[in-house]
Amino acid sequence: MNTMKIIFCITVIFLLTASQVMSVQAGSQNPVEAVTVADSRTQSSSTLSTHIMKRDGVYIVYANGIVKDAGTGLEWFVGPDKNITWGEANSWVKNLNLAGGGWRMPSLNELESLYKKGAGPRNMTPFLKTKGWWVWSGETVGSREARSFAFGHGFKGWIFRANSASERVFAVRSRGKGLSKK
């Protein structure tokens, strides 16, 4: 296990208060994916707002890795930073149970809302850490294609679902008004 992942996990565990429950999913290859946090005071799936790590005016990063867009109310979680097919991405999101669950694949409009030319190394907030340029959306056509957003130039494309040459996955959930599919 890589040292940075261990340090991150120890930090998350340290920041948990007595009113929170932590469970580790057996068999997870990524310690960040393995941490499931629930707020036992409200029994809701809220983000742990008392554990803010960073802010930049629009985005808020929580100790559990969730990045909240204060403007839209959307909460984001970056998936494994590796090439991934649409099916693998969809499965990862469906199995994500971080901070109460409720995660889904983003719409193309939601991905586009993250695009800010010149922001961070990937034209999006640097709080969403990825080395990939393309991110899968949940929008599909038939059984072979899905929409993907390219952060290099702000391009929306149709990609074969079996492609894994450069695609990444982000999970999103609505905690406010959000953005709808168009």
Q: Tens digit of pLDDT per residue, the chain (182 long)?
A: 554 444 443 333 333 322 222 222 333 333 333 333 333 222 334 444 458 888 888 999 999 999 999 999 999 999 999 999 999 999 999 999 998 899 999 999 999 999 888 888 888 888 888 888 989 999 998 899 999 999 998 889 888 888 888 899 999 999 754 444 43
Domains of the chain: 3-174 (3.10.100.10)
CB-side neighbour CA atoms (13 Å) of 113: 23
Residue 31 makes CB contacts below 8 A (sequence gap 6+) with 1, 5, 6, 8, 9
Report the distance separating Cα 88 and Cα 91, nearest Å.
Answer: 5
Report the length, in residues, of the chain: 182
